[in-house]
Amino acid sequence: MNPSQTPLSTNSAQPQPSPLSQTTSGPNTLDIVNLRKVFGGRGKGGGVVAVNDVTFSIRRGEVLGLVGESGSGKSTIARLIARLYQPTSGEIRLNGEVVPHKLGGRGLRQLRRRVQMIFQDPYASLNPLHPVSYTLARPLKIHRLARGNTDPQVRVLLERVGLTPALTYAAKRPFELSGGQRQRVGIARALAAQPELILADEPTSALDVSIRLDVMNLMLDLKDQEGLSMLFITHDLAGARYMSDRVAVLYAGTLVEIGPAVQVIDQPQHPYTQLLKSAAPKPDAGLTPDHIEARGEVPDLSTLPPGCPFEPRCPYAMRECKDGLPRMYDVGGEHQARCLLHDPAIKARQAVAGYAP
């Protein structure tokens, strides 16, 4: 496992490429450094910055929860790591090895064995025409993990995700399965390639409430048993808290907060995370006591303000927020937040004025 001294600089927001010294204390499963994706805008100007210089790491055996609303860029990040999209700039490292910017043929296939995805909608992510056995045997064959008959391995995969009797399930087509069972097939497909990293893109949000926890539990068990590392993407803070060791919060393509799951969600330090938390349903309180304070909605990514992207909606917005993207400030432990409220100078000024968030 990773020693606790893992330099936090992996999470720093320095716009220039980070020094190579970061990975000296044993490689993380994944490092992404200043990852950036701009959609469109070939030719003159424009383009939508979907992922804006995002930097974070996933340690071995760790689940990193990636939280954000639609349009925050969270799914784009997963698709950049899986190379379904080509990054515009930045660096992705798997176990310390840099994934080359140009990848083709064997290199790409190798990457896709090491990194597997679980998709959001199990009704869309399985080809309706193929039986389960085909779907699960393909990764084994593509990556030459099975010699000849794949049936025994398919059976083991199905048993690992709790679909027993495996023989019955192997012969079924997607329309014969419930949503939860389909998602288990999706998880089995991801496991088939024996990946080092699993990218789970909202794997439970299309499922019914009563089966969500079982799918999450399955992923947690698999992580424990196989020492998998996982990026767990969700818009649900409670789900992220349940699943993750650490949580990263994304707003309009920018990483705004990262830290240990319980810390980030119990004591959010960025106003946006606080807003997200206050918006979650609380069955034991009425609506009124927690009237949320936020102006407007998630901005159009093509017209982002120059400074902090949350500034137009932020109840604590200050003049300085417009000056430029704030850096990540350490707020205790491994917890960091991209907000000027944590800038020592501004903190001091506010203490004098008797104002605190």
Q: Is 277 in the site for other proteins (CB under 8 A)?
A: yes
| Cα 274 from Cα 342, distance rounded (Å) | 14
Q: Does 291 bind other proteins (CB under 8 A)?
A: yes
Q: Under the criterion CB under 8 A, does residue 216 sit at the interface with other proteins? A: yes
- Among the listed residues 231, 263, 240, the one whose alpha carbon sits nearest the alpha carbon of residue 62: 231
Output the CA torsion sign for 70, 126, 138, 232. positive
- Please choose, out of 41-49, 149-157, 215-223, 334-342, the segment that lies near other proteins by the rule CB under 8 A: 215-223
Least separation, in Å, of the C-beta of 327 and other proteins? 25
Taking CB under 8 A as the rule, does residue 159 contact other proteins?
no
Could you tell me the smallest distance in angstroms from the CB atom of residue 26 to other proteins?
26
Structure tokens given for 184:
């288990």
Tell me the closest approach of the beta carbon of residue 300 to other proteins, in angstroms: 9
User: Which residues fall within 8 angstroms of residue 205, CB to CB, at 6 or more apart?
Assistant: 120, 234, 235, 236
With binding defined as CB under 8 A, does residue 217 bind other proteins? yes
| Smallest distance from other proteins to CB 75, Å | 11
Residue 188: alpha-carbon gap to chain centroid:
20
**Rounded least distance, CB 294 to other proteins, Å:** 6
Residues 6+ apart with CB under 8 A from 230: 58, 62, 63, 64, 197, 198, 199, 200, 219, 223
Which residue lies nearer to other proteins by CB, 6 or 181? 181
Amino acid identity, position 238: A
Task: Name the nearest CA neighbour of 274 among 257, 252, 295, 296.
Answer: 257
- Cα 34 to chain centroid distance, Å, stands at 15
The residue within the footprint of other proteins, chosen from 151, 159, 214, 343 (CB under 8 A), is 214
242 contributes a contact to other proteins by CB under 8 A: yes
Segment contacting other proteins by CB under 8 A, of 34-42, 163-171, 273-281, 322-330: 273-281
- Dump strand ranges (E) for the chain: 30-39, 48-58, 63-67, 89-94, 97-98, 115-118, 197-201, 229-234, 246-251, 254-260, 329-330, 336-337
Interacting residues with other proteins between 175 and 194 (CB under 8 A): 178-180, 186, 189, 192-193
When asked if residue 82 is in the footprint of other proteins (CB under 8 A), the reply is yes
In the complex with other proteins, the residue whose CB is nearer, 6 or 135, is 135
For residues 285 and 157, give the distance between their C-alpha atoms in angstroms, rounded to a whole number: 43
- Binding to other proteins (CB under 8 A) within 85-144 occurs at 108-109, 112-113, 116-117, 119-121, 124-130, 138-139, 142-143
What one-character DSSP code corresponds to residue 196?
Answer: S
Footprint (CB under 8 A) of other proteins, residues 6-65: none
The count of other CB atoms within 10 Å of the CB of residue 291 is 7
Q: Which is nearer to other proteins, 64 or 237 (CB)?
A: 237
> Six-digit token pair at 172?
């079924």
The site string for other proteins over 307-346 (x = CB under 8 A, - otherwise) reads ----------------------------------------
- Cβ closer to other proteins: 138 or 172? 138
* 172 forms part of the interface with other proteins (CB under 8 A): no
